Structure 1
């Protein structure tokens, strides 16, 4: 296999990953609180040939780097999570909330194969479900528990009939007999969004504590940090996917894919001509 085929084959696999990223973004254009990813590329190893025989002439009247550099294709360096704010859609529903602070996420307790684990989401469409002992629990659309500031599931008396959002992420519930219950919604701000991993069902995860030792990746907004919480009631945040931009980028990626495929075809034809010489 010659250098042209190696370069094109390496790049094709990476372009396929970029197309998958665009496709995933477009598929979630209507997903509440979804954050798109953006691909960036880097160069693979290169081989340099110093083609200037006389050392004293190297660099003389040159406007380009010394030697000839041959690469072997490109690689997907990063699929960056873009945390920009999405537009807000009014629902006038008491248990719909939208985070208006960039990088802030609700903490959710999700049941996994390894037990209950804390996940993160921007989807603030919450519901109530019975939890026993005449109580109801605040959950996501998938039934996962919404956590409070102390990472405990948020529960109310079963006869609550009204909810009011107060400052600093405090949710006030009024019961039928006039009692008032107040809880603090668990909010986390992620300083380094590149550590977030999309795991499906509009959820994200962070690496284990051992892998984050000494790295300031996130802060739980509780206590003195509660004032940084930016939360609205009766609205939902839409995804930050720009469909027209994603379509344009996808078409550009497909053209690059076609170009690399054509390079392989041309290289194969050239090798066929050379092998056919008698």
Structure 2
């Protein structure tokens, strides 16, 4: 098999994966609390040709001796970037933004009868009734998943008239009679972002290869930093992402052209009489 064909084909498959990552980043440029992923490439297997036995003939050379003949590039990893997005004021009382880039809200998600704790930076919360008469409301995400507090689910009186978040993740609920009830959001600090995997709906879960203690650490109120009436925007830089997308598309086109050229060369050789 023509080695040019294998090199180009291997690289094109990896470039397609990079295009998928970049496209997902761009599609979520306006998603609240979204965290972009960056791709890192590494060289695949290569063959070393020591074609110069006399190193004294290579005086001044700055590259390694010999010739390295590779078989293409591959994506070494896709890294989650926790850079903080811009904070936008909304003045909505149930919106809250985390101002520390490594902190995440905890959310309960039930799928196929199994409940799992997941993590998000999206603080656009809402109160949903949990009984028929609406006398009890539960703090939930925009997708309807329960938000966790330090004492479990956050359930408030259905007749509450006012809500506010403070700067340490505390929710104060004012009832009709003027009494106030305080709740504390359960927030964790992410120690190893590489152990988080996307779980859809702007949520993350801990990968099966990692443990909770290795990946996240629960925080108390004094360690949490939030801003009420505001939301964190996506950390995707549209201009930079579009530039990377264009470069990746060009690299894909070059690899495709290499396959065409290799095929044409093989056709010429096979046509010789």
Q: TM-score, normalised by structure 1?
A: 0.92
CA distance in structure 2 between the partners assigned to 1:94 and 1:176 by the alignment? 17
Q: Displacement of 1:114 after TM fit?
A: 5.2
Q: Give 1:61's match in structure 2, choosing from 40, 54, 58.
A: 58
List aligned pairs for 1:149-160, cutoff 5 A. Answer: 149-150=150-151, 152-160=152-160
Aligned residues: 269
CA distance in structure 2 between the partners assigned to 1:59 and 1:7 by the alignment? 33
Render the CA deviation track for 1:180-211: whole Å, top value 9, x for unaligned.
11111011110211211112111111124x73
Task: Say if 2:195 is the partner of 1:195.
Answer: yes
* Structure 1: runs of 5+ lacking an equivalent: none
Render the CA deviation track for 1:86-139: whole Å, top value 9, x for unaligned.
111111111000011011111000111251111111110011111238311000
CA distance in structure 2 between the partners assigned to 1:176 and 1:65 by the alignment? 77
- Change beyond 3 A, Cα 1:51–1:61: closer
CA distance in structure 1 between the partners assigned to 2:105 and 2:218 by the alignment? 10
Task: Say if 2:179 is the partner of 1:179.
Answer: yes
CA distance in structure 2 between the partners assigned to 1:211 and 1:104 by the alignment? 18
SS of the counterpart of 2:13?
helix
Q: Conserved in 2, the CA contact under 8 Å of 1:42 and 1:76?
A: yes
CA distance in structure 2 between the partners assigned to 1:9 and 1:125 by the alignment? 44
Quick check: 166-175 or 255-264, which moved more?
A: 166-175
Q: What is the aligned partner in structure 2 of residue 267 from structure 1?
A: 262
Q: What is the aligned partner in structure 1 of residue 241 from structure 2?
A: 246
SS of the counterpart of 1:160?
coil
Q: What is the aligned partner in structure 2 of residue 10 from structure 1?
A: 10
Q: Which runs of 4+ in 1 moved over 6 A?
A: none
SS of the counterpart of 1:205?
strand
CA distance in structure 2 between the partners assigned to 1:195 and 1:114 by the alignment? 24
